[in-house]
Amino acid sequence: MSWNKWIFVGGTLSLVTWGLLQSSSLDTFVNSLDKRSGTAYEYVQPWVVSDPESKMTATSPNDEQLLATIMEEAEKRKEAPVDARLDRVWKAIPGYNGIEVDVEKTLSLAKQQRGEKEIPFVYKEVAPSVRLEDLGAQPIYKGNPKKPMAALMINVAWGNEFIGPMLDVLEREKVRATFFFDGSWLNKNIETAQVIQQKGHELSNHAYSHKNMSTLGREEMVKEIDRTQQLLKEKLGVDNTLFAPPSGDFNDLTVKVAHEMNLKTILWTVDTVDWMKPTSESIVRKIAARVEPGSMILMHPTASSSGALAGMIAEIKRKNLSLGTVSELISSDRAPKVETE
C-alpha cells in the first residue's frame, strides 16, 4: 500500500507531514486528495461552519503544518452515514447523510483568513449506501432516529374554521407543515389550498373520498388516489410524491399501488387523536412526552389541535428538534440547527 493511502485513512499528524515531504509541493498534495477520496466525494453539499469551541488557529508557521492540523482534526469530526433499513415495527426507516470535512476547501479558506481565531471548517454531506428508495414498497411511519427533526402532518377532510388560526401560528413560529388533502374537500376549497400553498407548506394526497383503502380493489384504489393527484397537479401545480391513507387504513396492495404511482405511503409516529376532542393542554403534554427525533405528528384542523399548536411547537423545539415538512424529514439530508432565541 502506498504512503498516500495510509495518509487518507489514518489522518495522523506524523503520516500527513511525511506525505507532504514526499510531495513536490503543497498544491500537488492537495490536488491529489480528490483522487484518493472515493465515492464519498461524489455527494457534495458544502457549507461553512464557524466553530467557536475550536482551539485551533489559522496562524500556523507554514501551509504544510496548517494542512496537517486540518487533516488530523478532520478525522475527529467525521460522522458516517446511516443506511436506510427495514424495521420490524416501524417498517421503512430512511437513511441519514454522514458528514466530513472538505479538506481542500477548508485549507483554501483558512489560508485566505490566516490570523483569524478559528479555522473555518467547510463540511460536506456523504450519502448512505442504502437509500429509502432502495427498500421498495413499504409504509413510512417516521424519519431516521439520528435526524434531530420532527414533522407536523395535517390531514384535511372537513371544516375550514381552524385552518386560518393554525396557519397564523405556523407563520409566527416559522414552521412549514405538510397538509394532506382529501380530494372531495380540495375540489371545493381550491382557494383555501392556494393560501396554504402560498405560505410555503407542503401539499399532498389523502385520497378522494375518505374510504378505507383496505376494503377497495386495485382499480378503485387507483381511482381514489389518482383523482386527488390530478387536482393537486392541475389546480395547484404540485408534483406530489406522498400519500396518507384515510384513517390510516391500508393493506399491502395499497402500499404497492401507491408505489407504482411513484408515491410513498405515509403514516405517523404520534397521533393527537384530536377528533376525540381532547383538551389542548393534554395534546401538548402528549407531545412533550412522546416526540423524538424522526417523529411525524398527526393532527387535523380542529379546536383541540389549533389550541395546542403553539405549545406543541415549543415542546418540540425545547427538545432541540427542528421542524420540517414530511418530505424534508424522510430525506437523508442532514437537519439544520434549531434556532433559539
Residue 237 has pLDDT above 70, yes or no: yes
**Same domain, yes or no: 124 and 170:** no
**Same domain, yes or no: 148 and 256:** yes
Query: Does pTM top 0.85 for this prediction?
Result: no
The total number of structural domains in the chain stands at 2
**Same domain, yes or no: 52 and 143:** no
Q: What is the CATH number of the domain that holds 146?
A: 3.20.20.370
pLDDT in tens, 15-33: 333 444 344 444 444 444 4
**Same domain, yes or no: 91 and 146:** no
- 210 within some domain: yes
Residue 130 has pLDDT above 60, yes or no: yes
Which of 130, 153, 176 terminates a domain? The answer is 130
Which of 97, 130, 163 terminates a domain? The answer is 130
Q: Please, which pLDDT band fits residue 340 given cuts at 50, 70 and 90? A: low
Q: Give the lowest-confidence range in 52-56, 242-246, 337-341.
A: 52-56
CA dihedral in degrees (134, 137, 141, 143; nearest 10)? 20
Greater confidence (52 vs 335) lies with 335
Which of 100, 130, 160 terminates a domain? The answer is 130
Alpha-carbon gap, residue 307 to 217, rounded angstroms: 39
Greater confidence (169 vs 337) lies with 169
**Same domain, yes or no: 299 and 243:** yes
- 33 within some domain: yes
Rounded CA Rg of the chain: 24
> Average model confidence (pLDDT) for the chain?
86
Residue 125 sits in which domain range?
3-130
For the segment 146-175, the average pLDDT, to the nearest whole number, is 97
pLDDT in tens, 177-214: 999 999 999 999 999 999 999 999 999 999 999 999 99
Q: Which of 48, 47, 55, 95 is nearest to 73 (CA)?
A: 55
User: Can you say whether the dihedral through the CA atoms of 181, 187, 189, 190 is positive or negative?
Assistant: positive
Alpha-carbon gap, residue 98 to 84, rounded angstroms: 12
**Same domain, yes or no: 183 and 205:** yes
